[in-house]
Amino acid sequence: MFSSETSSGETTEGGKCPFTGVISDAFQEEPEPAESEGPIWTTEALERLERIPAFVRPMAKMGIESFAKDNGHDEITGEVMDAARGNFPAQF
């Protein structure tokens, strides 16, 4: 009988391919890192966000959230939106 050792140190008996463990280890999926929660939006900021045209709203929201994160804001308020306004070509 043949015996082989996997990369994790386990020994298997039988006529199995000695590379089975290596291939198995190579295709194991690593867990994805948990996404952190985005910033909290105030009611005023959400109302202003709703006034942005729907076709650009997702991009505007990502830009505002990115600005808030880069500048250390945990909460998006009207003031944060005013500060982020300089990053956008149109007014919101």
Q: What is the pTM of this model?
A: 0.56
Q: What is the pLDDT of residue 82?
A: 92
pLDDT (tens, 9 = 90+) of the chain, 92 residues, equals 455 555 556 555 556 777 777 777 777 776 665 556 789 999 999 999 999 999 999 999 999 999 999 999 999 999 999 999 887 666 55
In the chain the domains, ranked by start, together with CATH numbers, are 1-26 (no CATH), 40-87 (1.10.8.550)
Please list, in sequence order, all residues whose beta carbon lies within 8 angstroms of the beta carbon of residue 31, skipping any fewer than 6 positions away: none
pLDDT of residue 47: 97
Query: How is residue 46 written in tokens?
Result: 């959400």
